[in-house]
Amino acid sequence: MTTDRTDAVESSGATTTDSDVRDTTDLYHEFGEDRVPAGQRETSAFPVLSKSGTPDWDPDTWEFTVTGAVETELTFSWDEFRDLPHETQKQDFHCVTGWSKLDCAFTGVPFTELAERAGVADDAVHVMFSALDGYTTDLPLEDCMREEVLFTWAYDGEPLPADHGGPLRVVTPHRYAYKGAKWVDGVEFLTEPELGYWERRGYSETANPWREERYS
Ligand SMILES: Nc1nc2c(c(=O)[nH]1)N[C@H]1C(S)=C(S)[C@@H](COP(=O)(O)O)O[C@H]1N2
Ligand SMILES: [Mo]
């Protein structure tokens, strides 16, 4: 496997100071009383959950695409993607299997930045994310158009570990973590809802942790 670790550290925020980090951990106020949703248990570990193994990737051939119901479809090389405006946020992470990890610093490009560049069509209502391991996950468009939805390449100032989705993954702190595609390489805007990998297998399409929307 080829990875460009040095480059990742340099522009990932290894020099990030606390004041550069936007704290979005208070988003739970929108959904419930408790920061840790019902049925979740706080953990300091960061377990790995993948449907299959960790896929290889090559920074020279890696491509990220924005397709579907947009004005302009977009393609980015790894270097181009890394040059997009990005930020670091402190976020919580809720896994549908019952653990929550608080205060994770993720660095990356907001979903809204890509949506704006592509120009979302008026009839787009839903989004499908695709990944290098064949995983897919879907979300209503409005659940994606939030500042906390990031395409992230760094965790706590270090390159995102490959088993946690490096080089690039999505984080969705307002939704269960299966909505965040690891090894993400594309986002497609849809005019009709479609179901992703776990959603076709009975997991919730909306996945709101404060409503315990675990299964459909
Ligand atoms: N590409 C891809 N993304 C994925 C998965 C996967 O199998 N493949 N698993 C999902 C599930 S079910 C969860 S809970 C989280 C786990 O992220 P972690 O391994 O970093 O804890 O990733 C999600 N994203
Ligand atoms: Mo999961």
Burial of 50 (0-12, 13-18, 19+ CB in 10 A): middle
CB atoms within 10 A of CB 8: 21
Domain 3-42+60-211: give its CATH superfamily.
Answer: Oxidoreductase, molybdopterin-binding domain (3.90.420.10)
The whole-angstrom separation of Cα 106 and Cα 156 is 6
Contact 27, 83 (CB under 8 A): no
Place of tokens 């949703």: 37
Name, in order, each residue with C-beta under 8 angstroms of 34's C-beta and a sequence gap of 6 or more. Answer: 28, 210
Cα of 10 vs centre of ligand 2, distance in Å, is: 30
Pocket test for ligand 1, best of 153, 168, 182, 200 (most atoms within 8 A of CB): 182
Q: What confidence category does residue 17 fall into, taking pLDDT thresholds of 50, 70 and 90?
A: low
The whole-angstrom separation of Cα 216 and Cα 199 is 8
Q: Six-digit token pair at 43?
A: 């953990």
List the domain boundaries for the chain.
3-42+60-211
Name, in order, each residue with C-beta under 8 angstroms of 164's C-beta and a sequence gap of 6 or more. Answer: 46, 48, 155, 182
Helices (H), 52-193: 78-82, 111-118, 141-144
List, for residues 67-88, the tens digit of each pLDDT value. Answer: 999 999 999 999 999 999 999 9
CA 111 from centre of chain: 9
Place of tokens 């479609």: 194
- Omega of the bond leading into 47 within 30 degrees of 0 (cis): no
Q: What confidence category does residue 16 fall into, taking pLDDT thresholds of 50, 70 and 90?
A: low
Closest CA to 120 of 191, 71, 65: 71
Amino acid present at 74? L
Amino acid present at 68? G
Q: What confidence category does residue 12 fall into, taking pLDDT thresholds of 50, 70 and 90?
A: very low
Give the predicted TM-score (pTM) of the model: 0.93
Starting from the CA of residue 177, give the closest ligand: 1
Cα of 172 vs centre of ligand 2, distance in Å, is: 12
List, for residues 40-67, the tens digit of each pLDDT value. Answer: 999 999 999 999 999 999 999 999 999 9
- Enumerate residues lining ligand 1, CB below 6 A: 47-51, 95, 131, 133, 135, 164-165, 177-178, 180-183
Starting from the CA of residue 135, give the closest ligand: 1
